[in-house]
Amino acid sequence: MTDFTKAIDAVLDGVTTGTTRVPGVSAAVTDRLGTIYQGSRGVRNTGTGEPFEPDTVCAIFSTTKAIAGTACLQLVEDGLLDLDAPAKEYVSQLGDIQVIEGFDSEGKPKLRAPRRDVTTRHLLTHTAGFAYDFFNETYTRLANGQGQPWVVDASWKSIKTPLLFDPGEQWEYGTSIDWAGMVVEAITGRRLGEVMQTRILGPLGMNDTAFTMTPSMKARQATIHAREDGDGSLIPLDGVTLPQEPELHMGGHGLYGTATDYVKFIRMWLNDGRSDSGEQILRPETVEMASRNHLPKGMHIKMLPGVGATNTAKSILPVSKPRLSNDAEFFPGMPKTWALTFMINEEPAPTGRPAGSLAWAGLANLYYWIDRKNGVGGYWATQIFPFADPTSVAGFLEMERATYQYAKLRG
């Protein structure tokens, strides 16, 4: 056993023991040639004690976004999608979206037409104006006062929300990639999951990644747990599953998958768009273009304040207590921008991650990074609310730090 393997094994041992432990975790690290670490610890459900394995299936939430973004980039390559054309030319429903300018004396939203059209580039960079109710007070008020469904309902109504500002003027994290997925569906005439399977998941050998779980995936599914505010104890949310026959395939959060699958997707980005078998998923020039900052000059992404989930609308997830998210910021104080569709750290990170690397996360404490400079990346899969769980984040960053300290990267 190498020092590298020992170091990450120790991280997994540490996060799955103690009073603030995670119930279970699966982790994988890859370089350009293949997976160099995979491991797991803990249990899928604290009530049943089923072991968490490398192929344990998790709701991967917003780590879905980069896969949906890749589907958009493929259509750009095909000449079928213009990132700067009004997105309503593909999805007519976007033409009905307005900007919210507060609430009137009766608590109803005050709306106006946007000063410019939403484009797919706006959607892929989170500059369209859409938000999430668990990160934004205005959207929380729409949920509580207007019965706006939570986005996990996976319905048209759940994403037909007003813009917080005119497109292109700010960065705000939200449902933009769900709309981008609808652009893919409109252009191809197929459901997003079918497009992903045919053009991305299948060619990459990601056989355990899908919007609708197979019986085999369902049998290996991890239970999402909620961490109590007081003592940090874990409560299994038994039976909580994302919609398996949803009205919409949500490109922003709807996939189930495994850590072992996701590093195949990471490896494709490390290898200039090539799969392990040599199939070109994206052209090298597309990967290079998409890996750069696409925010307007001087714009940076901002801290994500978790405002709680006091959503009174019907939801499949019973999360009015506890909160859905802690306050969350990666590498506080460091300038960060946005690629298509990843966060970019503009300065070297303390873990060893160089400036210009790609990364993002998923609501139930899933995290990944992609370092194209050094040819390495990794994925960390837990299933806990609220987001930015300190134990989960610390474990992921320790895994990353161990990779740069001990791994012999193969180029």
CA 139/CA 143 separation, integer angstroms: 6
For 328-358, give the DSSP string. Answer: B-SSTTS-EEE-SS-EEESS--TTSPPTT-E
Helix (H, G, I), strand (E, B) or coil at 53: coil
Class of residue 278 by CB neighbours under 10 A (exposed 0-12, middle 13-18, buried 19+): exposed
Q: What CA–CA distances, in Å, run from 228 to 60, 124, 306, 321, 389?
A: 22, 34, 16, 8, 11
> One of 26, 37, 40, 62 is an active-site residue; which one?
62
* 173 is annotated as an active-site residue: yes
* 132 is annotated as an active-site residue: no
* 367 is annotated as an active-site residue: no
At a CB cut-off of 8 Å and minimum separation 6, what does 396 contact?
A: 367, 380
At a CB cut-off of 8 Å and minimum separation 6, what does 92 contact?
A: none
As a whole number of angstroms, the longest Cα–Cα distance in the chain is 66
> One of 139, 173, 368, 379 is an active-site residue; which one?
173
Q: Which two tokens stand for residue 350?
A: 């303390």
CA 303/CA 307 separation, integer angstroms: 12
Query: Which residue pairs, CB below 8 angstroms and at least 24 apart, start in 97-101?
Result: 97/160, 97/161, 97/162, 97/163, 98/162, 98/163, 99/129, 99/162, 99/163, 99/164, 99/165, 99/166, 100/138, 100/142, 100/162, 100/163, 100/164
Contact 146, 163 (CB under 8 A): no
Contact 380, 266 (CB under 8 A): no
At a CB cut-off of 8 Å and minimum separation 6, what does 104 contact?
A: 110
> One of 65, 158, 379, 392 is an active-site residue; which one?
65
Alpha carbon of residue 195 to chain centroid: 18
Alpha carbon of residue 224 to chain centroid: 16
Alpha carbon of residue 280 to chain centroid: 23
- Give the catalytic positions in this structure: 62, 65, 173
